[in-house]
Each structure stands twice: as structure tokens, then as C-alpha cells.
A = this chain, B = another copy of it.
Amino acid sequence: MYKNKTNLIGLVIPDISHPFFSKIVKFIERDLYLKDYKMILCNATENSEKEKEYLTMLQENKVDGIIIGSHTLETEFYTKIRSPIVALDRYLSDSIPVISSNHAQGGRLAAEKLIENGCKNVLQVVGSRKVDTPSNERHDDFEKMMKENGIQCNSVELEWNKFSFSDYEIVSKYILEEYPDVDGIFSVDLVASSIIKYAQKKNIQIPEDLKVVGYDGTDISQIVNPSITTIRQPFELISSSTVDILDRLIKKEKDIPIKNIFDVQLIEGETTL
């Protein structure tokens, strides 16, 4: 039988204070614990050296495996590694298993909802294209469906690593001032909450004048008023699959699937009809 060397797993993410990561990390810690692993947490946003250091720990057998939900290094760096690594919502290399939501489906569900609601001029807030994440796939499908339905679709790209609420306030202000005729918005929950707040200050009625569909399905979508109609990522399934696949890599099992994609779900809130 295979014996673990350290029972430690490294988890590298951009920012634990972001509600998406704090929620998924809660489940990953629980699922690792159930398989007798402990989790070393690394916030990598501000420091690509940190991510490199964790990969080095892996090569020196100080951890049994690594989950990478960040992406600060060149692709060559990842492809050289032969130790157990899984990628959480990131494309690292063709040989590293990736676990993610079905983001394309998420883009389509959001588009359908705004189309059903009669929107004629929509806008989506796009994550930085610098980050090679499956998550960006939602935008292509969203735009495609809008075009197929003759609906104008604008895109505003967020700057890389702009994660604070004050950054979102600047974007919200920009959007509502530069695109006053937009009647439907698609963005992650946190940005959506900021747009809603700014729209309320400008007496724009939601959902009457402006429909909003969020993305992620974090608690934020429930906390704000009106609650946000949102595409919920399957946090529990992503977590259990991530831990399961990493465990199989550590145990040197064969035929481990590279692409592991899970359905998302539209949760009805009060920002659409």
C-alpha cells in the first residue's frame, strides 16, 4: 500500500479574502482532512516567488502534492514538474489535470436570462485576459448568444489583480457613466454588488431599468439588496473532485482525467424579472 510521506498539501490561490476563494478553501480543507491530509495555504497574488517556492517544496518532497488556483509563472515552469499537481480553474499545461465549472454554460445561462428579460443593450465585465483561466470562456458564449439574438453586447475588461471593493467602485462608476443606455449587466457577484449600489445612488431602478446577472454564487449575492440573480459555481463538487484527483495522482493511479468540468446553476434573485 502507498504511504504518504508528509500528508501535507500546498494550496496556492490569489487571495483568501476574496469570497470565491474563502468559500472554496473551506470545502477543500474539509475534503483534504477527510483523506487525512493537512493544507498549507499560500496567498500568491502579490508575489510570484511564493508560488515558485511551493513548487520547489513539492520537488523536495516537503509536501505530497499541490493545488494551484493561481498562475503567476511561465508555462515551462509547470510542464517540467512530474510531481502531483492539479489546477483549480487554471490552465497550466496539457498534462496537469484541471478542475473547473462549466463556464461556457454559465455564460449561456446568463445570456438566456437577460434575453428572456427583454434586454436590448447589454454589457459584460470581463476578467483580465492576462490570466489563462477557463473562467474567461463564459464571455465568448455570452457574446455569441447576444449577437445571434441581435442584441448589442459591450465588454469592459477589469485590470489584472484589481480585487478590492474600491477598484470595483471605480469600474461601476465608469460603466454607468460611459454606457448610460445599457439595460443588462453580467459580472462577478462582487462587481455586480458595486454596480447595484452605484445604480441605486443614481436612482436607476433594478430590475425595471437595469437587469443584473452575477457570477460565482458567493454569499454576497444574498447579502445585498436586491439579492442578485447569479450563476452559482458548484463549490462542493469542484472541491471534492480536486481533492480526489490529487489523491489519485499521489497514489500513482492510472487514467486520471485531465479535464474535469462541472455544471453551474442559475439562482434566481431580485435583479432580474
A contact set with B: CB distance below 8 Å: 8, 15-19, 21-23, 25-26, 29-30, 33, 38-43, 50, 165-166, 190, 193-194, 196-197, 200-201, 219-220, 222-225
Q: Decide if A40 touches B43 in the complex (CB within 8 Å).
A: no
Q: Which residues of B contact A50 (CB under 8 A)?
A: 33
Taking the closest CB of chain B, its distance from the CB of A269, in whole angstroms, is 12
Taken together, the copies of this chain in the complex come to: 2
Taking the closest CB of chain B, its distance from the CB of A35, in whole angstroms, is 14
Taking the closest CB of chain B, its distance from the CB of A172, in whole angstroms, is 11
Residue of B nearest to A50 (CB): B33
Q: Decide if A200 touches B223 in the complex (CB within 8 Å).
A: no
Q: Decide if B220 touches A196 in the complex (CB within 8 Å).
A: no
Q: A29-B43, A42-B38 are in contact. Are A223 and B225 (CB under 8 A)?
A: no
| 7 closest cross-chain pairs (CB), A and B | A22-B22, A197-B225, A17-B26, A41-B41, A17-B22, A165-B222, A17-B23
Taking the closest CB of chain B, its distance from the CB of A47, in whole angstroms, is 8
